[in-house]
């Protein structure tokens, strides 16, 4: 990874995060007149703050991505068996999906079934991105991509999940998932390899 490649990854991810936040923010504002990002009421103000919010979310996504790469590198050094590492990642994916329902439901008055939508959507998107990653690289990329798209995204989304409102969750999750998907899919192209680098 050279500085030039990192700059490309950084700026394209920033752009994707900002634009996806703007698009979902406008959709949310159109459907819910009470929705405003950072309590702004003026349209121009909201557009600028949505772009900045999306850019900030994309930076959070990038920090999570590089933290994952480092942790994965260390874990592979400790756990020598690829099979054991894959099983551990699958177990953590299952735990993360269950926690997205259980931890949010713990203090809620609603039924736990209402909290299954987000984990199911994350699982569907994660499986789709993982399948796409396999097409771009090889079958070894499926489990790491699924782990990153579900577990790391869930950790990065904690600030929005704490608010426990649908609008804030959607506003953060869309650019976060878009940024994470972009980074994981483009990495092999940036590094110019058809092997699974992560």
The rounded distance, in Å, linking the Cα atoms of 123 and 162 is 20
User: What was the pLDDT predicted at 109?
Assistant: 60
User: What was the pLDDT predicted at 196?
Assistant: 53
pTM confidence score: 0.85
pLDDT digits (tens, 9 = 90+) for 145-189: 999 999 999 999 888 887 767 788 888 899 999 999 999 999 888
Across 42-54, b (16+ Cβ under 10 Å) vs e yields: eeeebbebbbebb
pLDDT digits (tens, 9 = 90+) for 33-85: 656 555 555 555 578 888 998 999 999 999 999 999 999 889 888 988 889 99
The rounded distance, in Å, linking the Cα atoms of 183 and 13 is 7
């Amino acid at each position: 990874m050279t500085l030039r490649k990192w700059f490309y990854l950084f700026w394209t991810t920033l752009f994707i995060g900002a634009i996806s936040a703007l698009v979902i923010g406008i959709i949310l504002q159109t459907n819910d007149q009470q929705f405003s990002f950072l309590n702004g009421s003026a349209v121009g103000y909201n557009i600028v703050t949505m772009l900045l919010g999306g850019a900030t979310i994309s930076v959070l996504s990038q920090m999570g991505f590089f933290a994952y790469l480092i942790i994965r590198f260390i874990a592979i050094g400790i756990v020598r068996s690829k099979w054991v590492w894959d099983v551990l990642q699958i177990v953590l994916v299952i735990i993360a999906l269950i926690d997205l329902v259980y931890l949010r439901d713990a203090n809620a008055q609603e039924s736990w079934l209402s909290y299954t939508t987000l984990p199911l959507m994350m699982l569907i998107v994660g499986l789709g991105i993982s399948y796409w990653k396999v097409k771009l690289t090889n079958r070894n990329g499926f489990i790491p991509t699924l782990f990153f798209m579900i577990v790391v995204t869930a950790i990065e989304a904690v600030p929005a999940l704490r608010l426990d409102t649908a609008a804030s969750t959607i506003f953060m999750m869309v650019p976060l998932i878009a940024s994470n998907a972009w980074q994981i899919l483009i990495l092999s192209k940036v590094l110019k390899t058809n092997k699974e680098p992560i």
